Chain A
Amino acid sequence: MSTWTPEQPIVAIADVHKSFGKVDVLKGVSMDVRKGEVVCIIGPSGSGKSTLLRCVNALVPIDRGSIRVEGQEVHDPAVDKLELRKKVGMVFQQYNLFPHKTALENIMMAPVMVLKRPKAEVEAQARQLMRKVRLDGKEDAYPGELSGGQQQRVAIARSLAMQPDVMLFDEVTAALDPETVKEVLVTIRELAEDGMTCMIVTHEMGFAREIGDEIYFTDRGVIVEHGPPATFFTEARDPRTRAFLSQIL
């Protein structure tokens, strides 16, 4: 399937199963994400949301099923996982910035060392990304000197520097103070408005409703139901979805 065209789903997840030892974490998950689409995944803790995102960029191998990114099977042993990860960026709950490097160096490292792009060009791009996430002036700060929200925005800029086609966000605001949540959400919204394909795991229902093109609700390793936010939040059919939404809204 090297004949992928932008009309086809950029991420095609079909009947994915994954277990850790005896724990079945994903039990037949399917989902299509079109180019430029913003998909929000919600669900109770432990339902397998993080695991699903990790499977998409091959951080975690799957047991059964198929995940294709731009038509390429992610879990085909012949596929170069590093090539795949150049197309799929991921941002984590705990930021995971490299503490021994400045904000700018964090952003520049992968393009210079992995993509082998010229340093001057990468630096110009990195400075532009710092402006984009509204952190100009903090280029030389170390992660330890930045607030959680600022670190998370550097982490987003670091992923964007690889010029990915798909961005995965795993509860990127869950570790933040309420005041700093907004600045990160604004950054993601701008990204989505620029047409970036995003898969967002979040507990921020207001945000999901505002930004999402499609909302997926997962529970115990399956997708219970999904739909566009306009109908999903008001006309949820499944009692599990309704129970979850009533708890959280």
Chain B
Amino acid sequence: MSGRVFAMLRPVAAPVSAEGGFRAALFTPTALVFACIAFASLVVAGEAWAQLRAAGPKPGLLETLWKWTPLLLIGPPREFGGFALNIAVSFLAMAIGTAFGVVLGLGQISIHAPVRRVCWLVTQFFRNSPWLVLLFFVMLLIPFQIRIGGTAIPLPAWLKATFGLSLPVMANVSEIVRGAVNSIPSGQWESAESLAFGRLQTLWRIILPQCVKRMIPPWMNWYAILTMSTPLISIVGVNDAMTLAQDALAAEQRSELLMPMYAMLLLFFFVYCYPIARWTIRLERRYAVKI
């Protein structure tokens, strides 16, 4: 692992073969859209560059980017990686973070003071920790495999990284839950109580159903933030889009390729995250008038 940690600091011998990258069968429509938009916007700047440099025997910039695109999107052959891995990690980290975050958030409004305090502390700690440091910490904390009975279950780096990213998500979901529950007027609790609902029943049947709508926009917002943070996992040696882009750049050894390559990467994320942001705003507006 530690070798990969510093991978970004020194040139890496090209580990990936270029030909293996192109697998048309695996091109989903969405991925195609990503690629098309990426190229469309790079065309102007890219073409100019290419013509300037075309004097040599090297292929044009666009051609080179195109060559690496499949690798960046779906990773090396017979291996899961690239932008698809970023998305997979974002899904998984969000799922884990949401599950634990809801529990933690409900703990924060527990009637038992010790539970409340512990949950508050955990929430505040992970909300106010730098994600990158958390990531390193978790990578060292979790062993590379766990033993259940006689069988050893390996824990790949990407999975450990996913746990690392799920921690800040958990803390922020916890705050979303606490905030949403507290935003429900106390009259709802009172009338439920006066109808002989118990505390848990009130929470599940009356309070939380009203909270869901309020929680969705901030929750989606954190999903977008999480997705944009997934390139952090490249630092701990995972074949995500960022790592592969650096590998590709190392293999090409062409400085004029640096900016376009990273621009393409940015575009992948933009095309994925922007619609989520728009959708979040739409939902926010819709729910704001409703309740």
Residues of A within 8 A of B (CB): 57, 59, 82-83, 85-86, 88-90, 92, 94, 96-100, 109-110, 113-115, 144, 155, 158-159, 162
Residues of A within 8 A of B196 (CB): 82-83, 85-86, 110, 114-115, 162
A155 to B291, CA, bound (A): 19
Contact: A99 with B187, CB < 8 Å?
A: no
A115 to B197, CA, bound (A): 9
Contact: B201 with A92, CB < 8 Å?
A: no
Query: Whose C-beta in chain A lies nearest to the C-beta of B194?
Result: A90
Residues facing A in B176-224 (CB within 8 A) are 185, 187-188, 190-198, 201, 205-206, 209-210
Query: Whose C-beta in chain B lies nearest to the C-beta of A87?
Result: B196
Closest Cβ–Cβ distance, residue A94 to chain B (whole Å): 5
Contact: B197 with A114, CB < 8 Å?
A: yes
- Chain B interface residue count, Cβ-Cβ cutoff 8 angstroms: 19
Q: How many A-B residue pairs have CB under 8 A?
A: 59
Residues of A within 8 A of B206 (CB): 98, 109
Contact: A98 with B188, CB < 8 Å?
A: yes
Contact: A59 with B194, CB < 8 Å?
A: yes
**Contact check: which of B185, B193, B201, B291 meets A85 at CB < 8 Å?**
B193
Closest Cβ–Cβ distance, residue A172 to chain B (whole Å): 12
**What would be 15 A-B contacts, judged by CB atoms less than 8 Å apart?**
A59-B190, A85-B195, A85-B196, A86-B196, A88-B194, A92-B191, A94-B187, A98-B192, A99-B210, A100-B210, A110-B196, A113-B201, A114-B197, A115-B196, A159-B195
Query: Whose C-beta in chain B lies nearest to the C-beta of A158?
Result: B195
Most chain-A Cβ atoms within 10 A of its Cβ — which of B187, B191, B291?
B191
Q: A92-B187, A109-B195 are in contact. List 8 more A-B contacts (CB 8 A).
A: A59-B193, A89-B194, A90-B191, A96-B188, A98-B206, A99-B210, A100-B209, A114-B197
A113 to B202, CA, bound (A): 10
Contact: B194 with A82, CB < 8 Å?
A: no
Closest Cβ–Cβ distance, residue B131 to chain A (whole Å): 35
Closest Cβ–Cβ distance, residue A92 to chain B (whole Å): 6
Query: Whose C-beta in chain B lies nearest to the C-beta of A57?
Result: B194
The 4 closest A-B pairs by CB, nearest first: A96-B191, A110-B195, A96-B187, A90-B194
Decide: A113 near B197, CB < 8 A? Known: A94-B187, A99-B291: yes
**Contact check: which of A83, A100, A114, A144 meets B195 at CB < 8 Å?**
A114
A63 to B153, CA, bound (A): 59
Closest Cβ–Cβ distance, residue A154 to chain B (whole Å): 12
Residues of B within 8 A of A159 (CB): 194-195
Residues of B within 8 A of A83 (CB): 196
Closest Cβ–Cβ distance, residue A107 to chain B (whole Å): 10
